[in-house]
A and B are shown apart, each in its own frame.
Chain A
Amino acid sequence: MKARGWLYLIAATLLAAPWVLPGYALEVAIQVLILALFATAFNLVFAETGLLSFGHAAFFGVGAYTSALLMQRASWPYLLTLPAAVGTAAALALLIGFFSVRTSRIYFTMLTLAFAQLVWAVVHKWYAFTGGDNGVTGLQPGQLWSDPHALYYLALLLTVVTFLLAVRLHLAPFGYALRAIRDNQARAEAVGLSPFGYLLAAFTLSGALAGAAGFLQVAWQRSAFPDFLYWTKSAEVIIATILGGAQSILGPSLGSLVFVELGAFVQSHTEYWPLVLGLVLLGLVLFLPRGLAGLGGARAGD
């Protein structure tokens, strides 16, 4: 089995990476995993429902802040803040989704953007609670999670779980229902599917998983900043997803790998990384409309 061989190879590479990569490269690898988790979560909504959320940074950021504030103010151990981070992100996604998923296309994008910016504005200015634009810094996630090896495996575990969940949902009736709604809402309703419930469930799940990515970011950076919630962070996850190819199940992870590694490489040579990224994206949109995954011609999962 050729496919199984590849799978073993990828699994072995991912498991062996921390023992092969030098310190800095391992830090970058953790960042790849965090973005891959975030992008896979984002794509649950984008690929399956066709709705482009421009507000996912809010869930990422609220997950991060939940974890950071619980550690700083209530001295919770790092790992215990995971359910809390996922929970608050899910609650926020449920709230925003409740208002947003009824709207369509550009209005959905604008509404998620507006909600996320509203949350950003509050986090950015609420000095008494969130530390305002100073962020929450100097966090101590404990001895174990300060070791990049341990953090790598934690990130790998969460990313793989999210990935398997995304594959499972894609193949489950739930995924079929979402795609039916995406392709023709009126027809989906006619056969008895309730778009609102399905879309809200997908949006909430996606937001909750984005919160897990924020939780990981806190241990990696030992701080949380309002920038985690700013709209450019939402743009970043969209870029990584489309760069890899939103229609492929591996696309978001592949895009995250390229995005982070290319970024680390370019930044070690020049400060003009945004310029390089901008030019890469222009080339991508104009010449490679289906993302990197489109190069192989395969559409996994379809």
Chain B
Amino acid sequence: MDIGFLLLQFLTGLAYASSLFLLAVGLSLIFGALGIVNFAHGSFYMLGAYLLYWVVRGNPEGLWWGMLLVVALGLVIGALVERLLMRPVYGRPEHYQILLTYALLLVIEDGVKLLFGPAYKSLGPPAALAYPVWIAGAPFPAYYFVQIALALLVAGLLWFFLQRTRTGALVRAATLDREMLEALGVNVPKLLTAVFALGVALATLGGAATLPMQTVSPGIAVEAVISAFIVVVVGGLGSVWGALLGAFLIGEIQAFGVLILPDFAIAFVYLLMVVVLLVRPWGLLGRPPAVRT
């Protein structure tokens, strides 16, 4: 195994990690601020891919403005879902929230089938990126670099938003103590709507960004949401950097696991999830739950 081949495998893992990050970081944000385990998160990811296909009418050249439009649609859909469905279940036992978001998963899956048909959809990369880059004598899709750059850009913007803006500081505060925030006069319900909308928009962006490389079907939602869970559990529920680290680890384990035991690469990933939950249940970069008295 030469070094060039390993580099290629590493980059493939990185591209996969990039789409995992976009998918999972919203789930993590939503769990952090709202405390809701969103089983419909993979469905928003899947919906994003279909929305992109719809807005560009199957024309790959519309990718850039199409992705912007999908993000805008994601924000609107997220805000509506939070207002109409999530708000009534805050403070109720977790299983109601799980049931509600699972119901949403079912509705979105069949809704997409009704609206777009059950057939697989695919959209190639724009012509400017539809060629391979040769790395160590092997072809590597140029579009993968776009995905990697997009993930890094989003990570950077999220860092700026959470660490350098007032609203970002409020979101971080909401993950720590919502009641205190409310007592300080912050409009918490509005803040939670914004966080949920942002999380959904990120998932739709993630789905849209993978469409040029992957065919999608409504069925990818149930696989996507599990991948997102693995990433945030490994990285730490509620932590953005955790999502980045988790996505990186899972992407690379998949890429290199395939070389060692092709059939069981996915089992390695679940094993990592089990081990992290046993050793550090709050995740690699998560915060241990505060002890309340």
Contacts and interface: CB of A to CB of B under 8 A. Distances in A.
Sorting the interface of chain A by its residue count into under 10, 10 to 19, 20 to 34 or 35 or more gives 35 or more
Contacts of B114: 272, 275
A121 B267 contact: yes
Given A114-B233, A125-B264, A235 B102 contact: yes
B148 to A, nearest CB: 27
Contacts of A122: 264, 267
Contact of A103 (B106, B111, B277): B277
B289 to A, nearest CB: 9
B263 interface: yes
B104 interface: yes
Interface stretch (A65-73, A142-150, A203-211, A284-292): A284-292
B57 interface: no
A137 to B, nearest CB: 20
Given A110-B233, A111-B277, A125-B264, A118 B270 contact: yes
B259 interface: no
B284 to A, nearest CB: 14
Interface in A221-267: 231-232, 235, 238-239, 242, 246
A110 B264 contact: no
A118 B267 contact: yes
A133 B14 CA distance: 28
B37 interface: yes
A107 interface: yes
Given A107-B281, A113-B229, A282 B270 contact: no
A216 B105 CA distance: 29
A121 B277 contact: no
Contact of B110 (A52, A278, A280): A278
A113 B99 CA distance: 15
A249 B233 CA distance: 33
Nearest to B271: A118
A216 B237 CA distance: 38
A238 B100 CA distance: 12
Given A121-B267, A238-B99, A272 B274 contact: no
Contact of B278 (A52, A111, A232, A286): A111
Contacts of A274: 106-107, 109-110
Contact of B95 (A52, A99, A111, A114): A52
Given A109-B94, A121-B267, A282 B85 contact: yes
Nearest to A241: B95
B37 A282 contact: no
B88 interface: yes
A281 interface: yes
Contacts of A118: 267, 270-271, 273-274
A125 B95 contact: no
Interface string B81-97: 00001001100101110
Contacts of A52: 94-95, 98
Name the residue among B88, B222, B271, B277 with the largest chain A CB count within 10 angstroms: B277
User: When A and B form their complex, which 5 residue pairs have the shortest distance between CB atoms, in order from nearest?
Assistant: A278-B106, A275-B110, A281-B103, A278-B107, A118-B270
Interface of A: 46, 52, 99, 103, 105-107, 109-111, 113-115, 117-118, 121-122, 125-127, 231-232, 235, 238-239, 242, 246, 272, 274-275, 277-282, 284-286, 289
17 contacts: A109-B98, A110-B277, A111-B277, A118-B273, A118-B274, A125-B266, A231-B226, A235-B102, A238-B98, A272-B110, A278-B103, A278-B104, A278-B107, A281-B102, A284-B99, A285-B103, A289-B96
